[in-house]
Amino acid sequence: MANQINQVILPAARTLKEFDELMESSYERIILLNAHVAQVKPLGKRARAFGKKLLIHADLIDGLKSDEYAMEFLAQEAQPEGIITTRNSAVLAAKKKGLISIQRLFLIDTMALDSSLTQLERTKPDYVEVLPGIIPHLIEEITVRTKIPVIAGGFIRTMEDVDRAILAGATSVTTSRKELWTKL
């Protein structure tokens, strides 16, 4: 994979203050969770100026619908390295635009798991973000069944949670917990 993510902790900024803090961090890749559509271009430019590779959670951008047009807008205006989304059409559109595609899955029960596996067969994202990321056997199952790299997210609260997810086969862990951002 050309744009392989080789970073255990993927810090996720919820606020502009956290985003600014990450500009001064040693992390190469960072995640923008929340922003307004008018902010994505200047934030993308700022991230690039600091040598950061930005992953944008497209579903959480206020004023932006996560569809093919939104992926075109993000690719042109914010110029992120990749996007995170729950939407199949957005994953497919992001791939067409050359962005890293991370499909976010919420695993709440067996039906959700089965439905998610079917979606992944159609979209073939570059990565899968599994939520909650504190269920090692599901991380392992998805990794084995799909052969798609898994990123664990949601309820990652301690370094033990990070370690368990990585041992189960996750390539990375997303977290908005600032106390875990200090761990490289």
Write out the two tokens for 26: 């040693």
Residue 128: per-residue pLDDT: 98
Q: Report the amino acid identity of residue 3.
A: N
pLDDT of residue 3: 74
Global confidence as pTM:
0.96
Around 89, how many Cα atoms within 13 Å sit in the side-chain half-sphere? 8
Q: Give me 54's structure tokens.
A: 């930005």
Strand (E) or helix (H) holding 47: helix 40-49
Rounded Cα–Cα distance for residues 169 and 85 (Å): 21
Specify the pLDDT at position 182: 81
Low-confidence ranges of the chain (pLDDT < 50): none
What pLDDT shows up at residue 25? 96
Determine the Cα–Cα distance for residues 127 and 64; give it in Å rounded to an integer.
Answer: 22
| Cis omega (within 30 of 0) for bond into 132 | yes
Three-state SS string across 48-89, please? HHCCCEEEEEHHHEECCCCCHHHHHHHHHHHCCCEEEECCHH
Question: Among 31, 11, 41, 52, which residue's Cα sits nearest to residue 182?
Answer: 11
Q: 62 near 43, Cβ under 8 Å?
A: no
pLDDT in tens, 22-74: 999 999 999 999 999 999 999 999 999 999 999 999 999 999 998 999 999 99
| CA-angle at 82, arms to 81 and 83, nearest 5° | 150
Q: CA-to-CA distance for 85 and 78, rounded, in angstroms?
A: 16
Q: Which domains does the chain have, with CATH numbers?
A: 9-180 (3.20.20.70)
